[in-house]
Amino acid sequence: MTIAVGDKLPSAKLMKLGENGVEVVDIAALAKGRKIVLFGLPGPYTGTCSTAHVPSFIRTRAGFTEKGIDEVICVAVNDAFVMKAWGEDTGATAAGITMLADPLSEFTQAVGLAFSNPDVGFVNRSLRYALMADDGVVKVLHVEENAGMCSISGGEDMLASI
């Protein structure tokens, strides 16, 4: 079942690379009592993800703060090491975007937004989407019909919807 507006974010383990190595982050606990924007995408260092999706959230990061968003989070089915490097390479980390890895696709599958395209090496990867949650409850959800496109899931559209 795909997550919908009004649903609670599931408790799922994501990972980030911190000062002392890999750290586990429970997304439900992270969202508790806070307003977050979370966007998911198929893969770090891939075309649309690197040239459109992440840059749209870098451009709009300050606007989310102005609207009371506590944290902007990027999630991809990959490892914490790649997510850290990609965040640094794109400028997302410097812009204040939290880069979280979903190495087992646990979160992505729990919210029903996984897809596979083994011909290009994508198995249980994330569809392209963006959501806003308040105290863990989804208030806005934009899922792209085509994972290769970034229109309704970009930073500008999400910011306008809040």
Is the whole model's pTM more than 0.85, yes or no?
yes
pLDDT given at position 148: 83
Which residues are catalytic, by number? 49
Q: State the angle between helix axes of 54-66 and 80-90 in degrees (0 to 180), rounded to the nearest 10.
A: 80
Tens digit of each residue's pLDDT, the chain (162 residues): 799 999 999 999 999 999 999 999 999 999 999 999 999 999 999 999 999 999 999 999 999 999 999 999 999 999 999 999 999 999 999 999 999 999 999 999 999 999 888 888 887 899 999 999 999 999 999 999 987 889 999 999 999 999
The rounded distance, in Å, linking the Cα atoms of 20 and 124 is 28
pLDDT given at position 80: 98
The rounded distance, in Å, linking the Cα atoms of 23 and 95 is 21
In order of start, what are the domains of the chain with their CATH numbers? 13-161 (3.40.30.10)
Which amino acid is it at 26? D
Instruction: State both tokens at 49.
Output: 């993800």
